[in-house]
Structures are given as C-alpha cells and as structure tokens.
Structure 1
Amino acid sequence: MKKSELTEKLAEETGLSTAKAAEVLNALIDIVTKAVTKNEDVQITGFATFSQGKRAARNGRNPATGEAIKIPAAKTVKVSVGKGFKDAVNKTARKR
C-alpha cells in the first residue's frame, strides 16, 4: 500500500476529507521522525516502537572491485513490532 492509498483508507475510516487525512498522516510521520532524531522512542502500544540504534564502523569490500573500504559508523532506525500487530498478522496467516 502506498502513502496515497493509506491516506484514502484513513479518510474512509475516519470520515475526514482526503486532504485532512493527508495532513494528519504527514503530521504523524513528522512527529515520529523528529522524536527518533532526538533519540526518543515512540511507542504506539499494540502496533510498533520506533527507536534510534547505532551501527559501529567496520571494514568492508567494494563489490565491484574487491577493494577493502572502511564503512563509517552510522545511526539507524529500529522498528519493533507490537504484540497486537504480530498476533493479527499471525491469525491472518493461519487462515490461508
């Protein structure tokens, strides 16, 4: 599902206009992004937790040339799926 389709579904489910649903979705994305950027966890109970992680610097190889390269340390985003979401997916998977 693309963002535009998600916006349409959100509008359907809430009775909001598509423009207002897009505004709400964009605000949610912005809030989560800003919080994780500040190293704050965002927990949506039953759905997911978004947090910041770290990847250490390491050595690697350029796949095209085989040359050794240094890969710098980086911040990452971690998403842990909530129990309610996992359970819903597993119930759907069992019915198939």
Structure 2
Amino acid sequence: MVKSELLQALSAKLPELQARDVETALNCLLKQMADALAQGERIEIRGFGSFDLRRRLAKLGRNPKTGGAVNLAATVVVHFKPGKEMRDRVNAAREKCGIME
C-alpha cells in the first residue's frame, strides 16, 4: 500500500479528522520512527514486526559488468522482522497474490 492509499484508508476509518490532520499524524509517526532508528534504537510494533539495525562489515566485491574487484565500505542497514500475526496473515494470502513455491 502506498502512502496515498494509506492516508485514504485512515481518513475513511476516522471521518471526524480532516485529511491533512491524518497526513500530519502519519508523517510525524514515520519521522519519529526514522529518528529512533538513526539513534540506534530498536522499534517493535506488536502484531506487525520489529525494525532494528544490522551492521555489514567492509568486504571485497565484484563489479558485475567488468568483473573487477571493488572495495565495499562497512555500512549499517535497517532490518525488518515480521511478527507472528503478520507472517500468518501474509502466508494465508499467498494464493491470492499468486505466490507459489
């Protein structure tokens, strides 16, 4: 779901709020989450999942076009781990999405 669809869904569930108020609240929530991750904090949303940081060490990689060696710097990436309720819900809907294994 893209941000505009999320805003429409929230506005439909909360008709007493104006669309700009819903957008402000959503933007504030996302900014707070990004700020917490930038400070190295872990975020857990019960029933949805958790966000934390993973450190990737520097390594030697390959340029796929030329095959030449490339030094890749150490980096920090955001990692999402879905909660049990989210995993169960997604797995139950796999056939609707056309995902087969």
The AA in structure 2 aligned to 1:26 is N
Equivalent position SS for 1:28: helix
Change in 2 beyond 3 A, CA 1:65/1:11? same
Equivalent position SS for 1:32: helix
Aligned to 1:12: 12
Q: CA deviation at 1:70?
A: 0.5
The AA in structure 2 aligned to 1:27 is C
Aligned length: 96
Equivalent position SS for 1:64: coil
The AA in structure 1 aligned to 2:81 is S
Check whether the contact 1:37–1:52 (CA below 8 A) recurs between aligned residues: no
> What is the root-mean-square deviation of aligned Cα atoms in Å?
1.7
Q: CA deviation at 1:49?
A: 0.5
Q: CA deviation at 1:92?
A: 2.9
Q: What TM-score results when the alignment is normalised by the length of structure 2?
A: 0.85
Report sequence identity in percent: 34
The AA in structure 1 aligned to 2:89 is A
Unaligned runs of 5+ in 1: none
Aligned to 2:88: 87
**Residue 25 (1) aligns with residue 26 (2):** yes
Q: Aligned equivalents of 1:17 and 1:88: distance in 2? A: 30
The AA in structure 2 aligned to 1:62 is N
Equivalent position SS for 1:21: helix
Check whether the contact 1:54–1:73 (CA below 8 A) recurs between aligned residues: yes
Q: Deviations over 1:43-73 (max 9, x none)?
A: 0001010111111111011122211010000
Q: What TM-score results when the alignment is normalised by the length of structure 1?
A: 0.89
Aligned to 2:76: 75
Q: CA deviation at 1:95?
A: 7.5
